[in-house]
Structure 1
Amino acid sequence: MASQAGPPNGPNEPPHDPAQDPRNQPPQPGYGTPPMPQGQQLPGDGPGFWSPQQPPPWTGQPPQQPYQLPPYPQQPPPYPQQQPPYGQQPYPQQSPYGQPPYGQQPYGSVPYNMRPPEPRQVPAPPGTPFHQLARNVRHKWWRPLLGTLMLAAIAFVLTAGLFVVWTIVHGAITGDVPESQGDNLFPNDLENLASTLVMLGILTPVVAFTAWLIQRRPPWSVASVLNRIRWKWLLLACLPGLGYLALSYLLGTLVELVFPTADPVQTDDGAWVGFAAFIGPALLILLLVPFQSAAEEFVFRGWLVQTIGAYAPRSDARNAVTRVLWRVLRTPWPALVVSSALFVSAHGYTGWAMADIFLFAMTVGWLTVRTGGIEAAIALHALNNLLAFMLPAATGQLDGWADQGGAPWTLLLTDIPCLAFFAVSVVWLAKRRRVATVSQ
């Protein structure tokens, strides 16, 4: 049998030794690779066999990676090699003893001087109704009380300062020093009305500033559950307000015809003063009355309602007393009753007029909670006051704009269905417009 190592030798050739055939030699190390130690060969190498790591030379395939000694074992780095993103704290080094190096914080903690600052204002949790918007994570029992005292103090200081400035400007223009006469601060009726409306209008930013500073919540959370004034909803709520005024006039005329002797109020209707005498007071009223009405709503339906509603205990209270308080104060009715009574006391009405004002305050307060904001209350209050000031201005009776006395019982009788119409219309519009009623 012929040998498998190669062809037979020729007549002048030496005997063929398969072990000396270069094709059966192990692959030579590449450039930069240490030579193979003596007496060592790759597995599978030997006479008559091709190395599994070196292809045959006649195939034309490129050789594989040359044989290399295994690398020396390396120790893992003492800290991660990956760099943190720009602006973040670098990864802390790990100590081989299990404890952080001296002067460093434990892994995963942030040093106190490198912690992000706490937010200045914290909104109420999602799903919070309007009368409890002041009960955020920063709520403490003393915050509503301190905020109320601060609100009264700032309002007093600003009102007094505004009166002094107004008096100085009045003296500089007219040359005389005005003297207060009863409820009138200035002798001119129009100037007296303007100064009073401005002094009341500045309460709106004071309420927002107090909520932001003392209660650590968004300043306009006093307005709605969305922490802002919803202007579109406020303008839309004016439509039911106009319907309220029209219905009030029609029912008032009808009741006066049915009960002509029902404790009438003697008033002088006056006469039309003319367009030239009416345009100035009308523009002043249109400009200032909405701010005055909004300021009163921010104080009574905004601040006071949320201040009382903030004292409702948590629902998971285990004490029997706190559970009873939670059942009572979780509803808006205690806050509505107290704020409405204070609203009546802030006016000079008597008799049936006090009952009518209390009913008005309760209705707009309930709508405030039901619609999640004071926009509907501002709309009705502003429209009602515009009419109450425009009629005396048109008849030349602005001297009696501050007179708030009694009223016949027929006023309350006619106002009940008008307020019911306004409440039903506003609730219907709120459902159609999907107005937010709780915090988002």
Structure 2
Amino acid sequence: MASQGGPPQNQPPHDPAQDQPRQPGYGTPPMPSGQQLPGDGPGFWSPQQPPPWTGQPQQQPYVQQQPPYPPQQPPHGQPPYGGQQPYGSMPYNLRPPEQRQIPAPPGTPFHQLARNARHRWWRPIIGTVTLAVGAFILTAAVVVAWSVVHRMITGDLPAASGDEIFANDLENLASTLVMLAILTPTVAFTVWAVQRRPPWSVASVLNKIRWKWLFLACLPALGYLVLSYAFGLLAAAIFPDADPVPADDGAWVGFAAFIGPALLLLCLVPFQSAAEEFVFRGWLIQAVGAYAPRSEARNAVTRAIWRALRTPWPALVVSSAVFVSAHGYTGWAMADIFLFAMTVGWLTVRTGGIEAAIALHVLNNLLAFLLPAATGQLDGWADQGGAPWTLLLTDIPSLAFFAVSVTWLARRRKVATVSQ
């Protein structure tokens, strides 16, 4: 029995520390005016709660669930707070790292792949200058390294004569092919460093070389070569006087003299031909296509011009003209190579990559180099002049066959034509 004036029986002894009202802390919401949390004030229960010895159930106070303090660090590369907090209010050490390579938005055609989120008007211009400077430096490095190896093997310095660096024709051809092949990594580096996009987006809309599609496109390329040879024989029979300069077919040099140059050409020509496609059908088409206008014009005439500029045709014309100027052809040969460049450029945009252009370019150049090597005429590999008009006449149906075949195969194989 409790004594008079003392605490009730079975009540715990009074704790003076409980005399101070407890302040709502972290994880405890403030209570409305006039209310107290259980345990506030004297004793161990609030006036709003029944005493524990009465046996009545106690009401549990509402405690708001709060995240642990301090906040836990998210895994590297993930936004903190579940991505709910705006980027600008995040601490610097919690911000996700900036993405280095930004691909083009989904649904972008090949000729506009350079139009990513980092695109600015000056990037294609600076990239072209970077590509030219890099090609010059790497070409000079190849010449120096080749000359050093030549001196170590032969003991003599290279005997430069005119445009030829070395006295041997095959060595000159091999060094030239290597100097052209070095353009491929130069283009990939320029795309990555200047335009801030995947380096192999210059190859296809999938940001890679589609090897299966490239090898499949070799079948129409072989058909092109067969048709070109057949139409050439037919044109020579119908128009025997079309070419005023008679061709010297040469003679078979023998297997022993042919196998060495043939192996060297088989190893180097694919890289040289692919490098030219990376530059002319890859970089140049996308550099010009990056300037296609986005907004709509109010004037009907301006709107029509802008819609034409959005098509790949301006980029195809510019890249094809530069491709012709990079060679030494004249007359009908210039028209023929311009038609070649326009056809493979159109197929590049139509199929979403340069694989078909590489297939045709490689096989055509292999035939152009292997035939002189087999007939002892490799010394004229650098001669680029005119051609009879029958060359263009026979090349038109051959290129048409290649274009139709590649388009049909791409549709049949469901080749991607826009970025995914």
TM over 0.5: yes
C-alpha separation in 2, matches of 1:89 and 1:361: 48
Name the residue aligned to 1:224: 204
Q: Secondary structure at the match of 1:311?
A: coil
Question: Which of 242, 249, 264 is residue 262 of structure 1 equivalent to?
Answer: 242
Summarize the Cα distance change of 1:277–1:112 in structure 2 as closer, same or farther, 3 Å threshold: same
Residues 313 and 325, structure 1, Cα contact 8 Å, conserved in 2:
no
C-alpha separation in 1, matches of 2:275 and 2:79: 47
Q: Does 1:407 align with 2:387?
A: yes
Give the CA deviation at 1:68: 3.5
Name the residue aligned to 1:67: 55
Residues 147 and 214, structure 1, Cα contact 8 Å, conserved in 2:
yes
Name the residue aligned to 1:16: none
Give the CA deviation at 1:76: 4.6
Give the CA deviation at 1:266: 2.3
Summarize the Cα distance change of 1:318–1:150 in structure 2 as closer, same or farther, 3 Å threshold: farther
Structure 2: which amino acid aligns with 1:410? T
Name the residue aligned to 1:17: none
Q: Does 1:80 align with 2:67?
A: yes
Q: Secondary structure at the match of 2:208?
A: coil
Name the residue aligned to 2:354: 374
Structure 1: which amino acid aligns with 2:387? A
Residues 372 and 378, structure 2, Cα contact 8 Å, conserved in 1:
yes
Q: Secondary structure at the match of 1:128?
A: coil
Q: Secondary structure at the match of 1:243?
A: helix
Give the CA deviation at 1:90: 7.3
Q: Does 1:363 align with 2:350?
A: no
Aligned length: 367
Name the residue aligned to 1:127: 107
Structure-to-structure mapping, 1:380-391, within 5 angstroms: 380-391=360-371
Summarize the Cα distance change of 1:122–1:351 in structure 2 as closer, same or farther, 3 Å threshold: same
Larger Rg: 1
- Identity, % of aligned positions: 77
What root-mean-square deviation, in Å, do the aligned CA atoms of Structure 1 and Structure 2 show? 2.6
Give the TM-score, by structure 1 length: 0.78
Give the TM-score, by structure 2 length: 0.82
Ranges in structure 1 where 5+ consecutive residues have no aligned partner: 1-31, 35-65, 93-104
After superposition, give the CA deviation of every residue in 1:82-138 in whole Å (9 maximum; x if it has no partner). 97585378769xxxxxxxxxxxx9899312332111110000000000000000010
Give the CA deviation at 1:268: 1.8
Question: Structure 1 residue runs of 4+, over 4 Å off?
Answer: 71-77, 81-86, 88-92, 105-108, 316-325
Residues 155 and 206, structure 1, Cα contact 8 Å, conserved in 2:
yes
Question: Which of 82, 94, 100 is residue 114 of structure 1 equivalent to?
Answer: 94
Q: Secondary structure at the match of 2:123?
A: helix
Residues 265 and 366, structure 2, Cα contact 8 Å, conserved in 1:
yes
After superposition, give the CA deviation of every residue in 1:51-93 in whole Å (9 maximum; x if it has no partner). xxxxxxxxxxxxxxx823535756657x43597585378769x
Structure-to-structure mapping, 1:184-223, within 5 angstroms: 184-223=164-203
Question: Which of 170, 178, 181 is residue 161 of structure 2 equivalent to?
Answer: 181
Residues 315 and 323, structure 1, Cα contact 8 Å, conserved in 2:
no
Name the residue aligned to 1:50: none
Structure-to-structure mapping, 1:232-251, within 5 angstroms: 232-251=212-231
Name the residue aligned to 1:313: 293
Summarize the Cα distance change of 1:90–1:334 in structure 2 as closer, same or farther, 3 Å threshold: closer
C-alpha separation in 2, matches of 1:72 and 1:391: 95
C-alpha separation in 1, matches of 2:191 and 2:114: 8
Residues 253 and 375, structure 2, Cα contact 8 Å, conserved in 1:
yes
Name the residue aligned to 1:393: 373
Structure-to-structure mapping, 1:271-350, within 5 angstroms: 271-316=251-296, 323=303, 326-350=306-330
Residues 205 and 416, structure 2, Cα contact 8 Å, conserved in 1:
yes
Structure 2: which amino acid aligns with 1:70? Q
C-alpha separation in 2, matches of 1:90 and 1:259: 77
Comparing 139-148 and 314-323, the one that deviates more = 314-323
C-alpha separation in 2, matches of 1:106 and 1:304: 39
Name the residue aligned to 1:53: none
Summarize the Cα distance change of 1:315–1:381 in structure 2 as closer, same or farther, 3 Å threshold: same
C-alpha separation in 1, matches of 2:354 and 2:87: 49
After superposition, give the CA deviation of every residue in 1:342-396 in whole Å (9 maximum; x if it has no partner). 0000000011000000000000000000000000000000000000000010011
Q: Secondary structure at the match of 1:437?
A: coil
Name the residue aligned to 2:6: none
Summarize the Cα distance change of 1:72–1:347 in structure 2 as closer, same or farther, 3 Å threshold: closer
Residues 221 and 359, structure 2, Cα contact 8 Å, conserved in 1:
yes
